[in-house]
């Protein structure tokens, strides 16, 4: 048996990735020019599959960048003039806020420690409001209903961090103006690509903003958009990753997003049940409405290394708590994790003393 | 026979790349955490091999970014306060200058159309002076002697664009303060990684500058440097590319950089001789001192597609002229191109009517 990664990302590769990468060699994908018609076809196909698989509405556009970190920086540069609001419930949403502060943006932090967003607290008129579909550090999820309620309350552009949420956690794309993810989480690719989706409202805002302030060079939004319309990127991109993402999307479309969401729910129930019943474990997040279904965080009696090493000996690789937290484990529930491997890890967790 | 790419990059993969990428799957490289000790070992090994193979002196440091485009932006943000000088001899050096202008830098352009840099023209006291080891668009090279003469004349920080030059074109690293390249040219990797080398003088300048102006967020130089000291990147990087670069460096170290340089010289002589003798071709650059040895640009009597298609039928893939140029071809001479395949392409070129 080979190792199975349940780490929160990079994680277990989607089960078709190895074959796709190998086929890429046969088809010279990694040697073709990023200005060639062959590349444009790959790019267009990837965009079309993203739109189809994620049911991205008309008026939304897609650009490829290198990481979610980069996308935070580009959102701040390109969509915020003076101020923004950030709902913070973990290290990653905090980091986006910190980036805004570094950019001299008058950013407001709404801090929610292990609890749901309090919608009434959020000001209605931020230029941009940053939400997180799934906080990878704390395992806090935001459901589609909450996002809808926020949408109907505020006038802001809404940015949704979907890094470890998409496509497993559903939300209505019309409820946000921009969202983004990186490919090494639910899509099970090697790391090194960020996908940024933005709508016409973002473009309008950016086009006004770029007359007033510096919005970047090769990755300013209008440049990204202009090149994306031509199925290209401003720079030489990670061609391998765009190619493999397109192939994995095709595979996921055959499975169907509804099946992926249903299986995610089933597997997460299995794992939370296991954690709830176990005397050494307890969920870090108690409020069931916000317990993440894709990154499950559990407190544990002993230091996390104890459990990590027991499972490692069984070739099951799980994550430690984020940062310096000692008594937590994190277990990812991504589309590549079958029900069978989830039953396996739940069994093994149950047997740990 | 499979296709052989002589395009200026992305190009033919280094001949060991496919095996290294496949081995990466066996060793779970694409699933490990970018904060794990396994990754830190890969990172450190890659850095050490770069330092050893390129003979990088003490006091120079290395960071991984996503592209040369990004490195241009980061150099401008992190190392230039008010003004810079740019020796421009093609589309890429022009683009770096354009990025500086977009950043409201008072940038001076020194334009050299198909000729050597005129050292006396260059002001002594730019904050930063941008030179290009090899202009991929025009096939203009700058030799180590010229760089040395500029170094002894000016007080500026010197930045050298080595995108399609390193490791095939020698220069003395002590003659520059920062240099950079992307991996899809001479190193023969899939695209998606930029390597930025900077010395202590750059760090000093940056540390003063960051008190006065915005120098970026996750990729500001001090953040990159701080994480690099811990053998990590601020964001989740292109782990696959860092891993494969390290492996290819190991292979190239066995060949030896002197042998790579010598073979580059031999193969470029072969190709220029072929072009010079051919009645349909003539070198775009006539001054032999600046004729690139890694990206050979030739004028041609008919439109480039004619020659490109003849060679394509022989499974030899060459590049067209940069941008909208119609009557030019570009042929890359990278370390993965053996003498034998260079003799082959020269033969085929000779036979074209």
B7: nearest CA in chain A?
Answer: A33
Determine, for residues B192 and A73 on separate chains, whether the beta-carbon distance falls below 8 Å: no
The residue whose two tokens read 């349909």 is: B280
Domain edge (last residue) among B212, B234, B254:
B254
What average pLDDT score do residues A77-87 get? 98
B240: nearest CA in chain A?
Answer: A190
- Helix spans in chain B (H): 17-26, 37-53, 68-79, 91-102, 144-153, 200-209, 221-229, 239-255, 257-277, 304-313, 339-351
For residues B296 and B213, what is the distance between their CA atoms, to the nearest angstrom? 41
Sequence-separated (6 or more) residues with CB below 8 Å from residue A119: A146, A149, A150, A153
| One domain for residues A249 and A327 | no
Residue of B2, B12, B102 with shortest CB distance to A217: B102
pLDDT at B121 over 90: yes
| One domain for residues A247 and A269 | no
- The Cα of A192 is separated from the nearest Cα of chain B by a number of Å equal to 4
pLDDT digits (tens, 9 = 90+) for B319-346: 999 999 999 999 999 999 999 999 999 9
Determine, for residues A102 and B68 on separate chains, whether the beta-carbon distance falls below 8 Å: no
What average pLDDT score do residues A339-346 get? 97
| One domain for residues B185 and B331 | no
Q: What is the secondary structure of B248-283 as a DSSP string?
A: HHHHHHHH-HHHHHHHHHHHHHHHHHHHHH-SSEEE
pLDDT digits (tens, 9 = 90+) for A297-317: 999 999 999 999 999 999 999
Per-residue confidence band for A1, with pLDDT thresholds at 50, 70 and 90? confident
| C-alpha closest to that of A139 among A9, A11, A12, A284 | A284
What is the CA B187 to chain-centroid distance, rounded?
Answer: 9
For residues A234 and B274, what is the distance between their CA atoms, to the nearest angstrom? 34
- Mean pLDDT, chain B, integer: 97
User: Which pLDDT score, from 0 to 100, does residue B38 have?
Assistant: 97
| One domain for residues B297 and B201 | no
User: Which pLDDT score, from 0 to 100, does residue A343 have?
Assistant: 97
pLDDT digits (tens, 9 = 90+) for B7-37: 998 999 999 999 999 999 999 999 999 999 9
Separation in Å, CA B341 to CA A257, B267, B333, B346: 48, 10, 10, 8
Please report the sign of the dihedral spanned by the C-alpha atoms of residue A22, residue A25, residue A31, residue A35: negative
| One domain for residues B156 and B301 | no
pLDDT digits (tens, 9 = 90+) for B50-91: 999 999 999 999 999 999 999 999 999 999 999 999 999 999
Determine, for residues A10 and B236 on separate chains, whether the beta-carbon distance falls below 8 Å: yes
According to DSSP, residue B291 is labeled B
Domain edge (last residue) among B234, B254, B274:
B254
Strand partners, B300: B281
Strand partners, A107: A84
What CATH number is given to the structural domain containing A98? 3.40.640.10
The domain total for chain A is: 2
What average pLDDT score do residues A208-218 get? 95
| One domain for residues B45 and B142 | yes
pLDDT at A280 over 90: yes
A9: nearest CA in chain B?
Answer: B33
What average pLDDT score do residues B195-219 get? 97
Strand, coil or helix: A52: helix
- The Cα of A155 is separated from the nearest Cα of chain B by a number of Å equal to 27
Residue of B98, B191, B235 with shortest CB distance to A67: B235
For residues B227 and B73, what is the distance between their CA atoms, to the nearest angstrom? 19
For residues A144 and A166, what is the distance between their CA atoms, to the nearest angstrom? 12
Q: What percent of chain B has pLDDT over 70?
A: 100
Kindly tell me the number of DSSP H helices and DSSP E strands found in chain A. 11, 15
Record the tokens describing residue A11, joined without a space: 């994680």
Record the tokens describing residue B73, joined without a space: 């932006």
Provide the residue range defining the domain that includes A8.
4-12+257-351
φ, ψ of residue B321 to 5 degrees: the values are: -60, 155
pLDDT digits (tens, 9 = 90+) for B232-264: 999 999 999 999 999 999 999 999 999 999 999
Strand partners, A349: none
Per-residue confidence band for A353, with pLDDT thresholds at 50, 70 and 90? confident
pLDDT digits (tens, 9 = 90+) for A215-272: 999 999 999 999 999 999 999 999 999 999 999 999 999 999 999 999 999 999 999 9
Residue of A30, A73, A191 with shortest CB distance to B34: A191
CA angle B52, B56, B60 (to 5 degrees): 130
User: Which pLDDT score, from 0 to 100, does residue B353 have?
Assistant: 86
For residues B166 and B181, what is the distance between their CA atoms, to the nearest angstrom? 7
Per-residue confidence band for B304, with pLDDT thresholds at 50, 70 and 90? very high
Strands B106-111 and B140-141: unpaired
Domain edge (last residue) among B214, B234, B254:
B254
Residue of A13, A73, A218 with shortest CB distance to B218: A73
Record the tokens describing residue B277, joined without a space: 């003798």
User: Which pLDDT score, from 0 to 100, does residue B178 have?
Assistant: 98
Separation in Å, CA B350 to CA A286, A293, B211, B249, B321: 75, 64, 60, 34, 19
| One domain for residues B301 and B169 | no
pLDDT digits (tens, 9 = 90+) for A13-57: 999 999 999 999 999 999 999 999 999 999 999 999 999 999 999
User: Which pLDDT score, from 0 to 100, does residue A35 have?
Assistant: 95
pLDDT at B270 over 90: yes
Please report the sign of the dihedral spanned by the C-alpha atoms of residue A15, residue A17, residue A18, residue A19: positive
What is the CA A279 to chain-centroid distance, rounded?
Answer: 31
According to DSSP, residue A291 is labeled B
Determine, for residues B217 and A72 on separate chains, whether the beta-carbon distance falls below 8 Å: yes
- Helix spans in B103-217 (H): 144-153, 200-209
| One domain for residues B223 and B320 | no
pLDDT digits (tens, 9 = 90+) for B222-233: 999 999 999 999
ipTM of the prediction: 0.98
| One domain for residues A56 and A203 | yes
| One domain for residues A283 and A247 | no
User: Which pLDDT score, from 0 to 100, does residue B1 have?
Assistant: 72
For residues A60 and A51, what is the distance between their CA atoms, to the nearest angstrom? 9
What CATH number is given to the structural domain containing B320? 3.90.1150.10
Per-residue confidence band for A116, with pLDDT thresholds at 50, 70 and 90? very high
| One domain for residues A238 and A287 | no
| One domain for residues B90 and B215 | yes
């Amino acid at each position: 048996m080979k190792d199975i990664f349940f780490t929160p990302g990079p994680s277990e590769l989607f089960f078709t990735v190895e074959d796709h990468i190998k086929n890429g060699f046969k088809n010279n994908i990694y040697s073709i020019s990023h200005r060639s018609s062959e590349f444009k076809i790959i790019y267009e196909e990837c965009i079309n599959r993203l739109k189809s698989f994620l049911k991205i509405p008309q008026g939304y556009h897609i650009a490829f960048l290198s990481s979610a970190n980069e996308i935070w920086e580009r959102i701040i540069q390109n969509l915020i003039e003076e101020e923004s609001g950030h709902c913070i419930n973990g290290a990653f949403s905090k980091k986006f806020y910190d980036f805004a502060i570094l950019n001299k943006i008058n950013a407001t932090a709404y801090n929610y420690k292990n609890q749901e967003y309090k919608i009434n607290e959020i000001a209605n008129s931020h230029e941009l409001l940053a939400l997180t579909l799934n906080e990878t550090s704390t395992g806090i999820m935001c459901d589609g209903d909450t996002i809808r309620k926020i949408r109907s309350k505020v006038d802001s552009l809404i940015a949704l961090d979907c890094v470890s949420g998409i496509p497993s956690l559903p939300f209505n794309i019309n409820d946000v103006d921009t969202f983004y993810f990186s490919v090494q989480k639910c899509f099970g690719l090697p790391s090194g690509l960020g996908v940024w989706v933005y709508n016409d409202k973002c473009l309008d805002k950016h086009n006004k903003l770029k007359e007033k302030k510096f919005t970047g060079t090769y990755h300013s939004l209008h440049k990204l958009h202009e090149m994306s319309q031509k199925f290209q990127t401003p720079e030489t991109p990670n061609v391998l990753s765009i190619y493999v993402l397109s192939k994995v999307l095709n595979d996921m479309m055959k499975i169907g997003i509804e099946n992926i969401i249903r299986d995610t729910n089933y597997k997460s129930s299995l794992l939370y049940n296991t954690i709830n019943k176990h005397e050494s474990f307890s969920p870090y997040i108690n409020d069931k409405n916000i317990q993440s279904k894709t990154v499950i965080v559990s407190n544990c009696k002993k230091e996390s290394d104890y459990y990590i090493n027991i499972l490692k000996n069984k070739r099951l690789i799980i994550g430690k708590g984020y940062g310096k937290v000692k008594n937590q484990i994190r277990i990812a529930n991504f589309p590549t994790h079958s029900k069978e491997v989830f039953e396996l890890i739940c069994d093994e967790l149950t047997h740990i003393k």
